[in-house]
Amino acid sequence: MNPIYIARAPEVAARMLGDEMMIMSARTSELFSLNATASAIWQAADGRTPLADIVEGTLCAGYEVTTEEALRDAVELVQNLSAHGILQISDQPIAESTP
């Protein structure tokens, strides 16, 4: 599998509330809430670190789950977030863009 790079979309607002991440899309006015593990992936979405490395560092370290299972779930998550326009996905590193 080619490496997947992820970066937070510039048109979102986000804040941790307890152990969950609130995200608001300025484009659609949709509100999202990510649980702790999804939040960890979101926070690590710097556009430079491959998703597989993020998963290895955030999910596999803290949960009894295989790398393959975790990566499969993570890919599904980032595709879902990308479909809602709140996360950018690329097979190349993504330059940081500030809102």
Partner 1 sequence: MSLSQELNARAMALGVPLSVHLDLTYRCNERCVHCYLDHDDHGEMTTAEIKGVLDQLAEAGVFYLVFSGGEIFMRRDLFELIEYARSLMFCVKLKTNACMIDAPKADRLASLHLDCVQVSVYSHRPEVHDAITKLPHSLERSITGIRLLRARDIKVILANVLMQQNVADHDGVRALARELSAEYTVDPTVTPKMNGDRSTIQFGIGNNELVQLFSNSELTSDMKELCSKPSAIDDAVLDETPCSAGHTSCYVSPYGDVYPCVQFPLPTGNLRKQRFLDIWRHSSGMNEVRSIRLRDLTTCSTCTHVGNCTRCPGLAYMEGDMRGASSADCQKSIARAGIGNGEQSDESARISPPLLAGGLIQIRQNRLSPPSDKQDGSAVGAVS
Touching partner 1, residues 17-56 (CB under 8 A) = 17-18, 20, 22, 24, 26-35, 37-38, 41
Q: Are 19 and 36 in contact (CB under 8 A)?
A: yes
Q: Is 83 in the site for partner 1 (CB under 8 A)?
A: no
Tell me the CA distances in angstroms from 17 to 11, 34, 42, 57, one per residue in order: 19, 10, 14, 22
- Judging by DSSP bridges, how do beta strands 20-25 and 87-90 pair with one another? unpaired
**Binder among 4, 6, 7, 12 for partner 1 (CB under 8 A):** 12
Tell me how far, at minimum, the Cβ of 64 lies from partner 1, in Å: 10
Question: Binding partner 1 by CB under 8 A: which of 3, 13, 61, 79?
Answer: 13
